Structure 1
Amino acid sequence: MPKAYVFSRFGGPETESFADLPRPVPGAGQLLVAVRAAGVNPVDWKRRTGYVQANAPAVELPAVLGGEVAGVVEQVGDGVEGYAVGDAVFGNPLTGGYAEYTLLPVASTAHKPAGVSWADAATLPVAVATAYDGVQQLDLPAGSTLLINGVGGGVGSAAAQIATHRGLRVVGTASAAKKEFVESLGVVHVESGPGVADRVRAAAPEGVDAVFDLVGGDSLEEVAALLADPATLISGPDKVNVVKLGGSTVARKRNTEVLDAVAQLVAEGALDPFVTRTFPFEQAGQALRTVEEGHTRGKVVIEVSR
């Protein structure tokens, strides 16, 4: 039977193991995909600990890890149009991504452009698509100044590239250690930490038109004070405080249109997902440890050999 990397109960890394699972069968509106690459994200290990996202379905154990994949269509479910066996696709799996086979719902699946690698495609459905949704939601005109609070992470670096591609000036907060990386994105770096609002004012004396927050907590409250209109504040991680401050959460669309858009940006060379480490499927646990322990910059991908 096909292999998958699962967690059998909520807890730490000791709950993880490889398992032989039946090959999934696609239902109506679904694709069976032979996985070529799977993105690794912090939400993967958080889900293993028992962290539950809003509106997320209940977890059935053992559960396959991973929320984004790229691969080849092996079987097409009833009612599916626009996809055929052999197509290269990517999206958000229904049955986990750290696996030899998984199911993709066509509503959140897209064709992989030929010029986009398997590894790059596998990193687009979570962090990059979140970044795209946030920038779209703010809908700032060219020439506006966007502050990205926490620009050094996966969502932040993607949002910066998408924003600059649209003609926005981007100011971003990140640690001093990430200054060189942040500036390589064409972003004005501001060191994070207490007093960050004053440092942003010094870096952008004309003010900022919107804030895309990826940190939350006290940092969110401090940068929110920079805005004349709190409606131009959005946050990914802090869904409670952003609303109290008059802003909004990032409205995720999770659809083919967004996936097509971000893949096209990669194909055009306007967006780099920054895949910095890849691991063979047999080292799926090590790949997740790398993300969980914070030992890497950029995206980590698991590659499944065929």
Structure 2
Amino acid sequence: MTTTDNNTIKAVLQPDPAANKLELTRLAAPEYDPNGSSALIRVHAASPCKGELGWEVNFPSLFPEGRPLRVPGTEGAGTVEAAPAGSGLSAGDDVFFRIHATIPGALRELTLVPVSMVAKKPAGLSWTDAAATPLSSLTAYQGVFTQAPDSAVAAKAKAHNATQSVLITGAAGGVGSWAVKLAAAAGVGRIVGVSSASKAATVKGYGATEVAAYNDGGVEKWVAAAAPVDLILDAAGSDLDKLWPALKDNGTFLSVCVDPNATKPADKKVAKATWFLVEPSGKDLTEIARLMDLHAWTPLVDSVVPFEEVQAAYDKTDGGRTNGKVVVTVP
């Protein structure tokens, strides 16, 4: 392992959790424990998450008191420098990862990542695309396959999935586009993507069998005319009240944005209705990597920003007017 300036590394810090302001600094390199459960990774790229800098204030119960090192960046990609024996990782492996926001993140030259949250990246995937993949793809994967009851879509049960139907909002966006691709790859028989009319062809290209355009009351018109679905996965967070009639009785309504129960009709019977947070999972990422190799999938990337302009990257992400992920290169 090599570092510079007397074993210090370039890093980004958020000094005050109540302020969305970042500073560039140098820190001591993290101490790797060969008997521990984390791999030491030299980071090549990381991707901001919308709202990330406000999580400690907005969700204080999730964070330890006196958090010592606020290095942002919950998803990234890099090369393993060292990993515990038996972890399945070795020095030189190119990997990507999604980590909990409670631990120091990817916006530093070297970082420690629990091996359970790491997967080997697809060989042909660029560092930019690898860093832009974990959060959106994991959220979609868990929404389509693991959050719903067993009776819904299963990752490797195409005969069963052919009888299933899903509706995915935000189908042209980061999470939604992954959800459409994953559902199509799993053989889901009917996939309804909700998007603007101008993105209908794009969403069908991802694998949707139908598109409900939200322009000019299109969703309401579609709901009134179409057969209901088994699973709704909301990746947009708006107009959930208009979607409830599209769900079969005893179906599942999941959202990554808001609690769908807030607009649930009193007489609606469901198998499950909930808002959920993505869980870091190297196992799920490994399956996603396999599918990316198989189908030549790549993520939506809005722009690439140099390390020195990391504040601009977070400001742009939080502004919400991006077409895909913003990625920060790491020295």
Normalised by the shorter chain, which TM-score bucket?
0.7 to 0.9
Write the distance in 1 (CA, Å) between the matches of 2:66 and 2:178.
Answer: 29
Over residues 140-182 of structure 1, what are the superposed CA-to-partner deviations in whole Å (9 max), with x where a residue is unaligned?
3125321112223211111011111222232122345544543
Aligned residue for 1:292, secondary structure, equals helix
Partner of 1:116: 125
Partner of 1:154: 174
Write the distance in 1 (CA, Å) between the matches of 2:62 and 2:227.
Answer: 39
Over residues 115-159 of structure 1, what are the superposed CA-to-partner deviations in whole Å (9 max), with x where a residue is unaligned?
222222222321111100111134331253211122232111110
The alignment yields a C-alpha RMSD, in angstroms, of 2.8
Corresponding position: 1:76 with 2:83: yes
Write the distance in 2 (CA, Å) between the matches of 1:239 and 1:58.
Answer: 27
Write the distance in 2 (CA, Å) between the matches of 1:164 and 1:57.
Answer: 40
Aligned residue for 1:228, secondary structure, equals strand
CA contact (8 A) 1:158 1:272 kept: no
1:1-306 correspondence runs (5 A): 1-13=8-20, 15-27=21-33, 28-47=36-55, 50-52=57-59, 55=62, 57=64, 60=67, 63-77=70-84, 81-93=87-99, 94-137=103-146, 138=148, 139-140=152-153, 141-168=161-188, 169-176=190-197, 178-187=199-208, 188-192=210-214, 195=217, 197-201=219-223, 205-216=226-237, 219-239=239-259, 241=261, 246=270, 247-250=273-276, 252-305=278-331
CA contact (8 A) 1:133 1:250 kept: no
CA contact (8 A) 2:240 2:263 kept: no
CA contact (8 A) 1:42 1:292 kept: yes
Is there any run of 5+ residues in structure 2 with no aligned partner, and where?
1-7, 154-160
Residue 283 of structure 1, CA deviation? 1.9
Over residues 196-237 of structure 1, what are the superposed CA-to-partner deviations in whole Å (9 max), with x where a residue is unaligned?
6523325x62332221112346x2232123212244211212
Residue 240 of structure 1, CA deviation? 6.6
Residue 268 of structure 1, CA deviation? 1.8
Write the distance in 2 (CA, Å) between the matches of 1:51 and 1:196.
Answer: 35
Write the distance in 2 (CA, Å) between the matches of 1:58 and 1:267.
Answer: 41
**Is the radius of gyration larger for structure 1 or structure 2?**
2
Aligned residue for 2:203, secondary structure, equals helix
Write the distance in 1 (CA, Å) between the matches of 2:112 and 2:125.
Answer: 21
Write the distance in 1 (CA, Å) between the matches of 2:250 and 2:113.
Answer: 37
Aligned residue for 1:42, secondary structure, equals coil
Q: Normalized against structure 1, the TM-score is what?
A: 0.86
Aligned residue for 1:241, secondary structure, equals helix
Structure 2 residue identity aligned to 1:69: G
Aligned residue for 1:63, secondary structure, equals coil
Give the aligned length.
300
Structure 2 residue identity aligned to 1:64: V
